[in-house]
Amino acid sequence: MDWGMQNRISKIIRPETGRSVMLAVDHGYFLGPTRKLENPNKTISPLLPYADALMLTRGVLRSSVSDVTNTPVVLRVSGGSSVIGESLANEGVITGMEEAIRLNAVAVAISIFIGTEYEKQNLLNLSELVNEGEKYGIPVLAVTAVGKELGKRDQRFLSLSCRIAAELGARIVKTYYCDGFEKVAGSCPVPCVIAGGPKLETELDAFEMTYNAIRQGAVGVDMGRNIWQNPHPVAMIKAVRAIVHEGAKPKEALKLFESGKKKKAPASKAKSR
């Protein structure tokens, strides 16, 4: 692998552990002002020091994130549909590679909706993005999206989607945890991270999902709502980090979370400028 490509990937997947805690805050690109992400700066600022990478759109990056941050940026570059529109799958590439480079992104992210009427369009978009990314040493992260059909998150569907994403050149794949996840990760020849999905009932549920995903072959998480929709988001991301990077068990993570809850979060920083 070329130096630039490898260097960017190692900014996301930490070489010390081979793992990653990415923070996903890109939800507004199709959901609008998602609960607890209405003011992105307020949500993102306290969490930034604990994220190995931040996944978001260029609009939120420019408007709501300090330009002196050291946290690497994974830029969401697919979009063009909304939760109230005809189909979430009808996405295009909304941000070009030059813009990603200008924004100092370490990777670009695109969703693919396998099995939908837009499958071919999505896969050609992914392939074209990979062609561009490989030219400049920018890794492409493919998200195996399910749209509103959360029930699609089973092992057969996710294995198929992840493998196709990797075959088409994605350097990292983001998918969902499911029963039989070891088959999903085991048949995907590039690193997989998991999304958290909608907020789970308890913190322990989120810690168990994270722990099981890592044990079954994920290199980490690209998690959003289970972190920042929690009333104690900093305690939450620290506990997730302990599982991903330090091998903490779910109940150990819960203890950390409970003690972290009692600490006062530092005041959030305004975007510089």
Single out the residue of 19, 26, 60, 100 in contact with ligand 5RP (rule: CB under 6 A). Answer: 26
Annotated catalytic, 174?
Answer: yes
Single out the residue of 129, 223, 235, 248 in contact with ligand 5RP (rule: CB under 6 A). Answer: 223
Distances (CA, A) of 104 to 97, 111, 269: 11, 21, 21
Q: Cβ distance 204 to 243 under 8 Å?
A: no
Residue 91 binding ligand 5RP, by CB under 6 A: no
The Cα 201–Cα 192 span in angstroms is: 24
The one-letter code for the residue type at 263 is: K
The one-letter code for the residue type at 253 is: A
Q: Are strands 105-112 and 20-24 parallel, antiparallel or unpaired?
A: unpaired
Q: Which stretch in 22-30, 61-69, 94-102, 247-255 sits in contact with ligand 5RP by CB under 6 A?
A: 22-30
Nearest approach in angstroms of CB 2 to ligand 5RP is: 26
Nearest approach in angstroms of CB 95 to ligand 5RP is: 15
Quick check: helix, strand or coil at residue 73?
A: strand
By CB atoms closer than 10 A (0-12, 13-18, 19+), residue 268 is middle
Give me the 106-145 binding string for ligand 5RP, x by CB under 6 A, dash otherwise: -----x-------------------------------x-x
Residue list 44-73, contact with ligand 5RP (CB under 6 A): 55
Q: Are strands 78-79 and 92-93 parallel, antiparallel or unpaired?
A: antiparallel
Nearest approach in angstroms of CB 225 to ligand 5RP is: 4
The Cα 257–Cα 248 span in angstroms is: 12
Q: Which is nearer to ligand 5RP, 185 or 195 (CB)?
A: 195
Nearest approach in angstroms of CB 239 to ligand 5RP is: 15
Single out the residue of 46, 137, 169, 197 in contact with ligand 5RP (rule: CB under 6 A). Answer: 197
